[in-house]
Structure 1
Amino acid sequence: MAPGNTSSPQLSSPDLTSGNSSLHEKNDGIQIFTWDGPGDKRCPHNWSEKKKWLIASISLIGTFILPLNGTGITIAADELATTFDFKDTAWFTPSYWIVTSWSAGGALFVIICMPMLEELGVRRTYLAFYIFFILMVIPQAVAQNYETLIITRFFSGGCAAFLANAISSIIPDLWSTDKKRSVPVAIYILLYVVGNSFGPTIFAAIIPATGNWRWVFYVQLIVYCAFLPLFAFGIKETRHEILLQRYAKQMRKETGLQIYTLGELDKTPAWKRITKAQIRPLYLLFTEPLLFFCTLWSAFAFGNVFVFTQSVEFVFSQAYGFNQAQCGYIQAAIVIGEILGFFGNLYNIRPYLESAKRNKEHPGEPIPEARLYVAIVGTFIGIVGGMLVYAWTTFSGGPWIAPAVGLAMVGFGIQIVVAAAADYIIDAYAISGWAGSAISAAAACENLSAGFLPLSTQAMYTRLGIHWASTLLAGTALLVGLAPVVFLFYGRKMRESSKCNRKGMDELKQEDEEKN
């Protein structure tokens, strides 16, 4: 999903359209520095499209390669069991603990660390966490006991989730409107989901070629170190407040005048602001029904990306005699489906924007529920239908391509659901100014689902069998998938009854009254 600060940056400054001066005098002689009108070229919103896409593309590379650390090692379950002397059973799968630990770290870091982007800025925070991530991959490659893998992957998973989703903060810094952000956000979510799905396929050949699971991490280290210079030179600061503070500091030094941004004049300690931002996602999750059920829907879909890292090997080895490498390759079907789902998301942009013509709630703005049109198709035809195809076309001696088509259908649905849920949450809570916190809560739950939902896979497929285990997943998807249908009919009422949205509306009305 799209965690982080995904709403446009709101600078606490005078109306930029009211004048051309970037300095605003206060009674105490302090001058407030803001952008020099809406066309100020120093503002990231006004950078050239070439520069915007260059910065975004470099960050998007990280969004794709970092999650590979999470699922790439799943193709080495047997080798890990031999090295560290444990055994997977129907009820107990210690080989997956390293993915559970990785995902749990991601859930925690998304909540704890994403607010740092706002306070410390994008560039230095990104590079610090990236270097720490590499340092945590090194002991994974040379681990002499399983505990080392579990502990270090908790931190590498946290860093990977944080870094992979940093683009969710960069995109609104660079593009100012929903229309301009639609394509970058769609690409971001595609690469994030594909990065989590593609690990087994990319690293499937390493075990047969080397006979050593450690090469999965050696290759990752080579790749991550190779990209370090690109990130060091290519990730630029995009946070508006951080850039304003730099310019204000430079002007104070050059002129000796008391020139500050409003952020610098805020005497609230940074740790208090960060702590408040860290608590807010959990508060919203358990007090906002719309967010809770939308998160449940999205988290189940995303968790199935990781479920299939377990079920595919079980199903295709049992029914078709595939080895570990071949099972890794077959998961490319999920990625193919996710790419097709990306185009489904792009298709939905037009009806979403056109919904502004019939919006009676906020005339001229798109209706948030219009995000869900294609998601309903993705849920029922993609996820539910794909799981049933996957379940009931799998037979020993039958064509393996049939369940692979089912996997592609599931991938199609997962991509659409995760993207639509993220967009809908952002739109639903944009008016409150807490969209970033709401999406962080959803992202954390997605990571928890990815870590813990697959722990039941081995038991489920062993006890119920190939057909009925996948059917049970389809039935659960059908039940959870009712969420977008409910939102389509009752989403507006749920948004209007939201306490934080009502608070945001009151603040907007107060601002309008003050201007008038």
Structure 2
Amino acid sequence: MSAPRDLENLEQVCSLDIHRVQSSRLRNEGLPEEDELRVGIESKIEVDEAARKQRVISFSPGDPENPHNWSSGKKWFITASGILAVTNSTFASSLPSGALPFIQKDLDVERVEVAVLTISVFLLGYFFGPILFAPYSEWAGRRTVTLVAFGWFVIGSICCAVAPNIEALLVFRFLTGMGASAPMSVTGGVLADIWHEPEQRGRTMAVFSAVTMIGPTLSPVIGGFVSNSRLGWRMVFWIEVIVSALSFIPLTFCPETFAPILLLRKARRLRSQGATGLIAPLELEDRSFKSSLKTTLSRPFRMFFFEAVVLLVSIFLSFVYGVFYLFFQSYPLIYEGIYHFGPGISGLPFIPVGVGGGLAYFAVLIWDAHLRKLTARGETFSAEYRRLPLACIAGPIYVISMFWQAWTVRADIHYLVPIAAGVPFGFAFALLFIALLNYITDFYEIYAASALAAASMCRSLFGAAFPLFAKHMYKGMGINWASSFLGMVAALLTICPFLFIKYGDAVRRRSRFHRFLQERKEMFELREKEEGEEASTATSRTEHEGAEEIKDDIEKEGK
């Protein structure tokens, strides 16, 4: 009886890939305190020596199970399915904005702020959802988390459509937001799993960031027109159910992409086929739910409060994000109050915002082409110069768009003039997110997930809070000065990317996380150098012994 196919080339798939094991373990551990950094590294060296005695599997070159080696068609199907799911999630976030007057009237809601909560509580679900789903994803993989959460999202949408009162609607919107947060959190990781080349991955992430603006900019238009028809506001949520159900179908055909989970399954399969002593890198970690939950809860908060880069980027993007959702309340005030648009028509000014977001993708392509030319000349770049110039351009454009809108919203100025301000606003909005989130990823490497989680949670809180005071601010300050005030705050925050470029080296030296990463890299470089010298010595010894044997054979034949 022949051995199973997986065991034929067992030695090719089994290796002591300690670097991957160590990186995976560090990704799931909290960072040691300042006086424990050195001790932590020394203890990890001892752990690595014990791990050398294990037969740890990894993907062999060209392994078809490695997501990096999948066909382009398969990768693009997964990419399109993930982007479609995220677009659906963002579509649902602002969908009730055009239906709020009808919800308020039909459900006998006295205060408009209570009706606005249908948007705010959804974004609060974005805050709490990752706390629940992130630890579970370490157990079951990205595919399972996405399917469970998106199914949750579809069921929640159905409940919103049949909600008997405003209290039930708010509860169901919160739960729906939690389910919608999983595609938002997971899809970026999925794209990193399957697209190995940095250039291709960067372009895909740019498409992802630009396309996700389509949902929030179209949903107010749909919500306004549908609610104003005989179909009523409940039909808005039934449309959400239909679209989300259609988006759910391709997700069911997407495979797992998270390499550690794939290796874990492979190790279990090989052991079931008779191979003994094989383990996956994940099996060397503490994978208890309690440990995972503790890390997920604590590290993002520690990075937010003690890492200057995470704090400033989070505040900047959160403000930009909050203003975007504030527009869902201010646009009706502007275009219904001043220009007398109807409920559906008042949502049309959001379309230029989506157009601007799409243009941001082409800006990324132009910048990537420029960097390739410079790299071909032998030039190298820090994370600041590779990512932040786009943010330095986008920031001032964002401020200009805010003042443009603020002082052209007048009855004696044609409505197309303030509407056109949405194009630079959407362009700057998308470009800021692409540049700053990529900068965080480059800066913190294996800790990027926690840094991005901190930024995401802060962003969700701003997005939930801003719509609640929008009408009070615009009525109290006036439309012109309210938008101008937001532009002034944005102008102050625009300084952040310039500061990062100027003081990036100093910030890295002060960052405990970055210092720890550098010491870890030095440790691995030293070890690889030692192992290379040992391998070279062993090869020389083998060649010498082989030459001696050949010499002896020749002498014997001569005799």
TM-score (normalizing by structure 2): 0.82
* Cα separation, partners in 2 of 1:311 and 1:249, compared to 1, 3 Å: same
Amino acid at match of 2:242: I
Superposed CA offset, 1:270-322 (max 9, x none):
43124213321111011101110111111111222211111110011121111
| Structure with the higher fraction of residues in helix conformation | 2
Q: Are 1:376 and 2:392 matched, yes or no?
A: yes
1:14 Cα shift? 4.0
* Cα separation, partners in 2 of 1:293 and 1:30, compared to 1, 3 Å: closer
1:352 Cα shift? 4.7
Q: Are 1:336 and 2:372 matched, yes or no?
A: no
Q: Which residue number in structure 1 is paired with residue 84 of structure 2? A: 61
Q: Which residue number in structure 2 is paired with residue 4 of structure 1? A: none
Superposed CA offset, 1:171-222 (max 9, x none):
1111224222111111111122332333212333212333510000011111
Q: Which residue number in structure 1 is paired with residue 438 of structure 2? A: 423
Number of residue pairs matched by the alignment? 487
SS at match of 1:210: coil
Amino acid at match of 1:374: L
Q: 1: CA distance between counterparts of 2:375 and 2:269? A: 43
Q: Which residue number in structure 2 is paired with residue 413 of structure 1? A: 428
Q: 2: CA distance between counterparts of 1:428 and 1:357? A: 23
Q: 1: CA distance between counterparts of 2:52 and 2:344? A: 70
1:486 Cα shift? 1.2
* Cα separation, partners in 2 of 1:187 and 1:458, compared to 1, 3 Å: same
Q: 2: CA distance between counterparts of 1:310 and 1:12? A: 57
Q: Which residue number in structure 2 is paired with residue 278 of structure 1? A: 297
Q: Which residue number in structure 2 is paired with residue 480 of structure 1? A: 493
Contact 2:312 2:496 in 1 (8 A): yes
Amino acid at match of 2:395: T
Q: 2: CA distance between counterparts of 1:137 and 1:429? A: 36
Q: Are 1:42 and 2:42 matched, yes or no?
A: no
Q: 2:308 aligns with which of 289, 295, 305?
A: 289
Alignment of 1:7-156 (within 5 A): 13-14=17-18, 31-37=55-61, 39-88=62-111, 93-156=113-176
Q: 1: CA distance between counterparts of 2:345 and 2:100? A: 14
Q: 2: CA distance between counterparts of 1:113 and 1:395? A: 47
1:364 Cα shift? 4.8
* Cα separation, partners in 2 of 1:148 and 1:290, compared to 1, 3 Å: same
Q: Are 1:225 and 2:245 matched, yes or no?
A: yes
Q: 1:243 aligns with which of 243, 262, 278?
A: 262
* Cα separation, partners in 2 of 1:268 and 1:349, compared to 1, 3 Å: same
1:489 Cα shift? 1.1
Q: 1: CA distance between counterparts of 2:51 and 2:228? A: 73
1:113 Cα shift? 2.1
Amino acid at match of 1:290: V
Q: Are 1:396 and 2:416 matched, yes or no?
A: no
1:340 Cα shift? 1.6
Q: 2: CA distance between counterparts of 1:385 and 1:436? A: 32
Q: 2: CA distance between counterparts of 1:62 and 1:119? A: 22
1:258 Cα shift? 3.0
Q: Which residue number in structure 2 is paired with residue 454 of structure 1? A: 467
Q: 2: CA distance between counterparts of 1:332 and 1:434? A: 36
Contact 1:63 1:191 in 2 (8 A): no
Q: 1: CA distance between counterparts of 2:422 and 2:83? A: 25
Q: 1: CA distance between counterparts of 2:258 and 2:479? A: 49
* Cα separation, partners in 2 of 1:274 and 1:43, compared to 1, 3 Å: farther
Cα-Cα RMSD: 2.3
Q: 2: CA distance between counterparts of 1:475 and 1:74? A: 26
* Cα separation, partners in 2 of 1:355 and 1:148, compared to 1, 3 Å: farther
Superposed CA offset, 1:102-160 (max 9, x none):
11110121344234333321111111111111111111101111111111111211221
Q: Which residue number in structure 2 is paired with residue 208 of structure 1? A: 228
Q: 1: CA distance between counterparts of 2:85 and 2:410? A: 39
When structure 1 is superposed on structure 2, of 243-252 and 192-201 the one drifting more is 192-201
Q: Which residue number in structure 1 is paired with residue 546 of structure 2? A: none
SS at match of 1:166: helix
Q: 1:263 aligns with which of 276, 282, 286?
A: 282
Contact 1:201 1:329 in 2 (8 A): yes
Amino acid at match of 1:506: E
Q: 2: CA distance between counterparts of 1:60 and 1:366? A: 30
Q: Are 1:501 and 2:514 matched, yes or no?
A: yes
SS at match of 2:228: helix
Contact 1:105 1:156 in 2 (8 A): yes
Q: Are 1:440 and 2:429 matched, yes or no?
A: no
Amino acid at match of 1:368: E
1:414 Cα shift? 0.7
Q: Which residue number in structure 2 is paired with residue 21 of structure 1? A: none
Q: Which residue number in structure 2 is paired with residue 512 of structure 1? A: 525
Q: Are 1:468 and 2:492 matched, yes or no?
A: no
SS at match of 2:338: helix
Q: 1: CA distance between counterparts of 2:385 and 2:511? A: 15
SS at match of 2:212: helix
1:454 Cα shift? 2.1
Q: Which residue number in structure 2 is paired with residue 7 of structure 1? A: none
Structure 1 stretches lacking a partner, 5+ long: 1-10, 17-24
* Cα separation, partners in 2 of 1:197 and 1:13, compared to 1, 3 Å: farther
Q: Which residue number in structure 2 is paired with residue 166 of structure 1? A: 186
- Select the structure with the greater relative contact order (CA < 8 A; seq sep ≥ 6): 1
Amino acid at match of 1:398: I
Q: Are 1:321 and 2:349 matched, yes or no?
A: no
Contact 2:123 2:177 in 1 (8 A): yes
Q: 2: CA distance between counterparts of 1:396 and 1:339? A: 30
Contact 2:98 2:343 in 1 (8 A): yes
Contact 1:190 1:338 in 2 (8 A): yes
* Cα separation, partners in 2 of 1:498 and 1:62, compared to 1, 3 Å: same
Q: Which residue number in structure 1 is paired with residue 318 of structure 2? A: 299
Q: 1: CA distance between counterparts of 2:18 and 2:178? A: 38
Q: Are 1:181 and 2:201 matched, yes or no?
A: yes
Q: Which residue number in structure 2 is paired with residue 198 of structure 1? A: 218
TM-score (normalizing by structure 1): 0.89
Contact 1:336 1:411 in 2 (8 A): yes
Q: Once the two structures are aligned, what percentage of the paired residues are identical?
A: 24
SS at match of 1:257: coil
Larger Rg: 2
Q: 1: CA distance between counterparts of 2:323 and 2:16? A: 41
Q: 2: CA distance between counterparts of 1:294 and 1:252? A: 46
Alignment of 1:345-356 (within 5 A): 345-352=364-371
SS at match of 2:56: strand
* Cα separation, partners in 2 of 1:124 and 1:98, compared to 1, 3 Å: same
